[in-house]
Amino acid sequence: MKKEITMTVNGDIYRLAVDPWRTLNEVLRNDLNLTGTKLGCGTGDCGACTVLVDGRTVSSCLTLAVEVDGKEVTTIEGLAPSGEELHPIQKAFIEKGAIQCGFCTPGMELSAFYLLKNNPRPTEMEIREALSGNLCRCTGYNKIVEAIAAAAEQLQE
């Protein structure tokens, strides 16, 4: 039996009837068409599905949609403050060449956003640790770490 839930996604309020076994990832991608959130492993290992729920990073593949009833979700589509100009983290990823296939990028950038919100001047080790739940098969990570360090500097200005 479906359950009625209300959640705010990127500032918009949604009222939905969802089956209790459906994941947040499925609902975001299939019901709300927010396909910036990726589905990789589906088992909590790769971080491609990372979103923010009430400001904290979660794996949307392991989170049931009914668990976010009454909560606030931010996906990669909601990262840029104006919705038009890219967020400094997104700009830095482009400028530093930190994106190749791009599959890991939304999750990486939301993990970076969470890090910089809580630790605006992270060391390289702290950046690497913050990304430990996000896997990238393309870049070798160094450019991603450089991009986050650059974004941290940019956000300080």
Residue 117, φ and ψ in degrees, nearest 5: -70, -35
| Shorter beta-carbon distance to ligand FES: residue 21 or 84 | 21
In the shown chain, the binding pattern of residues 54 to 73 toward ligand FES, with x for contact by CB under 6 A and - for none, equals -----x-x------------
In this chain, which stretch among 5-13, 80-88, 98-106, 123-131 interacts with ligand FES, using CB under 6 A? 98-106
How many CA atoms are closer than 13 Å to the CA of 127, on its beta-carbon side? 22
Identify any residues that bridge with 143 across adjacent strands, giving them in sequence order: none
Residue 43, φ and ψ in degrees, nearest 5: -130, 15
Q: How far is the CB of 157 from ligand FES (least distance, A)?
A: 27
Does 44 sit near ligand FES (CB under 6 A)?
yes
Q: Which residues contact 70 (CB under 8 A, 6 or more apart)?
A: 5, 6, 7
Does 78 sit near ligand FES (CB under 6 A)?
no
CA atoms of 133 and 150, how far apart (whole Å):
21
- Can you tell me which of 8, 10, 35, 100 binds ligand FES, judged by CB under 6 A? 100
Binding site for ligand FES (CB under 6 A): 39-42, 44-49, 59, 61, 99-104, 136-139
